[in-house]
Amino acid sequence: MKPPTACLMSKLKCLLFTGLLLQTSSTDVTTIGSYSIGGSVSTASDSTQQCLAGNWTSFEPTTKTSVCRLCPAGWYCAAGSAMRPCSSTAKVYCPEGSERPLPVALGYYAIDSYYAVGGGFGNQKICPRGSYCIDGTKHLCPAGRFGSSLQQWQSSCTGICSAGFYCPAGSISSRQLPCEMAAVFCPPGSAAPLAVSPGFYSIGFNPNNESNLKSFEDSSTSSGAVGMGWVSGTGVGRVAQMECDLGHYCPSDGLRRVCPAGRFGGSTGLTSSQCSGPCALGHFCPPGSTSPREQPCGHSSLFCPPGSALPQRVHFGYYSVLGEDDVSRGAERPCEPGSYCGEDAVKRPCPPGRWGGTFALNDSSCSGPCAEGYYCPLGSLSRFEVMCGDPGRLCPEGSARPIYVPLGYYSTGGNSSTRYAAEVAPAGSYAIDGMLFACPAGFYGMDSGLASASCSGPCTIPGYYCPEGSTSPVMRLCGGDSVWCPAGTVAPLQVSSGFYTADYSSYSSSLGLQPCPPGQWRNLTAISASGSLQEWSARNSSGEVGGLRDAPECQLCPDGTYKAVVGDGQELCRPCNVRFAVSTIDRLVCECKSSLLKQHVSGMVVYFNVSSGQCSVLATQQVEAMSDRLWSLLLSATDMPPNSDSALTRWRQFPCEPGFVCEHGVRRRCPAGFFGSLAQETRPFCSGPCAAGFYCPAGSTSQFQLACGNPNVFCPEGSPQPQEVSAGFYSNEDDGTGKLRSSQKICPPGYYCSGGLRYPCPAGTFTDLNGTVSPNCLGPCQRGHYCESASTSSRQFPCGNSSVYCPEGSALPQLAHQGFYTAATGVDAGAVAFWDPFNSTNSVELPCEPGYYCTGGVKYPCPPGTFGWRYGMYTATCSGLCAAGYYCPSYLAPQPAAPSYTIWPGRPQVSATTFECGSVGHFCPKGSSYPLAVSGGFYSTGGGNSNGNITRSKQIICPAGSFCQGAVPYLCPSGTYGSSPGLTMKQCTDTCPAGFYCPAGTAVPRPCGPGEYS
């Protein structure tokens, strides 16, 4: 193996490669560790010499000689030996030319060389600052220590880091990095800053004067934080932490801060601005306080709540509270309701007659005087502090105690427990123990200041009564028809059930109406507008519409008037004297005004005179001397039958008779449509409604009073008179006699109604509506349909099928004639036909057109091969077969066997000669539907030649002695013969045989005659 002529590898690899050759070469290479001399290669024994220690043999390929070279760094070469790696450890190294490894010196470390690949360390280097070197390996000085000089060989390096600084691994100075933030500190030997513990603060020193610890305020905050040490840029480093002292707190930022005003620091190591807590109640704490009772609050006009930084002045209307004594008050409190607090902050009760309803009142007027009807003792909280008491006492505004009501007076204002004024008892009342009572019913009081329940005496005038509080023995007229007052009555009595005091049924009225009672009138203007009163009265008496049912109701007389008599006219409503009286709610009388009553002295009676319509005055002596009869004449209205007493002073009642109803003291006939068979009837509809089929005028005593009448009228239950059957209605048909119809029903669909009877719609007509009145009903049945009697639809029944038709108004379907077909008519005939595939609604029959035949109402086209030239055909033969020489395709679709020129009209033909057969190659026998091709060996005939042979009607086989081509016959050429019919080739059967001769058209060859040959 020869070495390369040029080495392209690195120098070291090249040497290794060459050395490898030297170590593995055969005998033509110099022995390892030797070099050759004399320029020739020989054995080691006589031609080599050993290299010196520190050298190795290098082979020179060009001269094929070996030379000694220095051993490379990282390797060592012993005398006469090969190059060896220095070592795998850093404890030794081999510089260039080494004969053995050298130990690395203390304070040095081994480094690689350029040739070290595959070898060992090739040099040593002095240990730099910040490191120490042992056994040839370099290490960083441990964190917390530093190495300020070269060639350190111990892990302690130069020494530990200075206080106030910290030294990461590899530091070269005892003050490598300053510990300058207040939140951290660095004792001697610090590898990294230590965080200041909560409740502690950091301290430091000036590096230029290490014995001088420093303390100063942290100017970077506004909280008065104080720290011992150095803030960045001051040149002071933090060296230790100290526990926060009394009156201070130290959060985790390493700064010491004074406890804020209002709080105290009673222990060391506090971490929050809350310190030990708020200043105690009744005391205040300046900044830096160490006790919750640092300073007492002071005067009683001052107060210090918990957490006070300074004493506070008690507000106007407040007083100080809490605390151990007057100089340690801990709060202020608003003066409670019922008291007031002045400038001296002393609480005092509100004086009698006044009250304090809110907090913080500040003068003796408090909230104001006590309310009317109440009194306020000392220290009252409300203007309604104590109710005055029973009605015998009263309390004006600002009362400190109640005042008793004088005799003959009654207390007023407020309620029964809160009276605040007194008035004399007026007429019609009496007063006891400060309470006012109305004179009881049945008594009257003419004078003021009465003090007895009997007042001025009892009321005993018949037809009158005295309600509670009456001032006259004739205080009230008994009233209307529903009450009566016998002698000695203290209040009106209700008329007994089934009795009456007034009978208006016999009241004379030109209109036949029951009169309006006192206090009411009837407006007859509407009646006058609809015709004369006499006409209306006639309708009313006959029971027609326009009678009682639509009569105007009675209505109250206008306000400011009264009506004490029976009657309808508005003129009976007389005016009250507006100066002295007003109308009552029921408009029966006028009531004298209270202002008029007050104008008269005690002992005078003011009353309303019904006859004169005026308020009058009587002295007490006149009242006492007046008899019952005089009172009646003086006060009452005119008597009216059947009673002798007035309409407002009834004093008798009567039992009700059959046919009448009595309610509210008035007797009236039982209303029309009802009957009354009993006496003392009170029900408004008496015994009940009139029976169905009958009618009952007013005052009827039987439910079958009168029979209804003919079918054109009906009487439902409760009929006052018969009712005409409405147009489009019929009376019920279940009445056997026809005289007792009781209801009407609307005419149903399929019927029309006239004169109260119903009739079925005639056949051919219909109605689908209720209430039809015309005999023609709604109209004729719709075309295409038929309507039997009583039909309810214009399409009651579809006509049927194609064999029948129904014109408009059909009662039954009509059978279509032979030769006619049925169809739909009208503008919508096409749509009807489309939607009616079964021809069930045809409405007309039409004659069959030429080309068609009709049977059973259906139109059919004449079949192919036929024609139809006239109307009304009804058999499939139509007018006959198509003529010979012509074809009739009718409705046929194109046929494959037909010639291309064939015409396919898609409709039947009306002529026997519509389409000519066409060409000589086709023929059309009689009844053809399309041309037929002439068969091979045949020829067409018929039709003559005058028309160009286009009406051929038959084909004939070519006879013997001829042939047919293109449906044309030709004679067999001379020299040939045709022995059979139907030949198609020009050669016919064959050529004429020898000894025979064949002229043109020969069927059988002819023998040559004697003396002839062929």
What percent helix, strand, coil does the chain show, rounded to 5?
Answer: 5, 30, 65
- The answer to whether 275 and 263 have CB atoms below 8 angstroms apart is yes
Position of tokens 């030769």?
Answer: 819
Rounded Cα gap, residues 852 and 866, in angstroms: 10
* Cis-peptide, bond into residue 905, ω within 30° of zero: no
Prediction pTM value: 0.40
Q: What pLDDT is stored for residue 744 in this prediction?
A: 92
Phi and psi of 300, rounded to 5°? Answer: -65, -15
For residue 739, what are the β-bridge partners? none
What pLDDT score was predicted for residue 602?
Answer: 56
∠ Cα 95 99 100 (to 5°): 80
**pLDDT at position 458, please?**
87
Q: Which residue, 433, 436, 444, is CA-closest to 469?
A: 444
Determine contact, residues 353/376, Cβ cutoff 8 Å: yes
**800 residue type, one letter:** G
Measured in degrees and rounded to the nearest 5, phi and psi for residue 367 equal -90, -10
Q: Are 164 and 208 in contact (CB under 8 A)?
A: no
DSSP 8-state assignment for residue 385:
S
Q: What are phi and psi of 572, to 5 degrees?
A: -75, -15
CA distance 548 to 539: 9
**Chain-centroid distance, C-alpha 344:** 66
Cα–Cα nearest to 375, from 364, 367, 366, 384:
384
Per-residue confidence (pLDDT) for residue 647, from 0 to 100: 74
DSSP, residue by residue, 344-385: T--EEEPPTTEE--SS---STTTTEEPPTTEE--TTB-STTS
| Residue that is written with structure tokens 């600002």 in the block | 398
pLDDT digits (tens, 9 = 90+) for 492-511: 899 999 999 887 766 655 55
Average pLDDT along the chain: 83
- Cα separation, 20 vs 486, in Å, equals 166
The single-letter DSSP state of residue 191 is: S
Sheet holding 654-655, edge to edge: 654-655, 499-503, 665-669, 660-663
| 227-278 pLDDT, tens digit each | 443 343 344 689 999 999 999 999 988 899 999 999 999 999 999 999 999 9
What size, in residues, is the chain?
Answer: 1014
Q: Are 749 and 767 in contact (CB under 8 A)?
A: yes
Q: How much is the pLDDT for 517?
A: 82
Q: Write down the residue that tokens 């060992």 correspond to.
A: 120
- Pull the structure tokens for residue 547: 């009678």
Residues of the chain under the 50 pLDDT cut: 1-32, 36-46, 210, 212, 214-235, 541-548, 636-645
Those residues with Cβ within 8 angstroms of residue 443's Cβ, 6 or more apart along the chain or in another chain = 453, 454, 455, 456, 457, 458, 459, 466, 470
- pLDDT at position 961 is 93
Helix (H, G, I), strand (E, B) or coil at 581: strand
What is the C-alpha to C-alpha distance for residues 722 and 713, in angstroms, rounded to an integer? 6
Contact 784, 802 (CB under 8 A): no
Half-sphere exposure of 981 (CA within 13 A, CB side): 6
Q: Which two tokens stand for residue 58?
A: 């290098």
DSSP-derived 3-state class of residue 915: strand
CA distances in angstroms from 981 to 122, 424, 454, 942, 957, listed in the order given: 135, 165, 165, 20, 7
Bridge pairing between strands 165-166 and 177-178: antiparallel
Query: Around 1010, how many Cα atoms within 13 Å sit in the side-chain half-sphere?
Result: 0
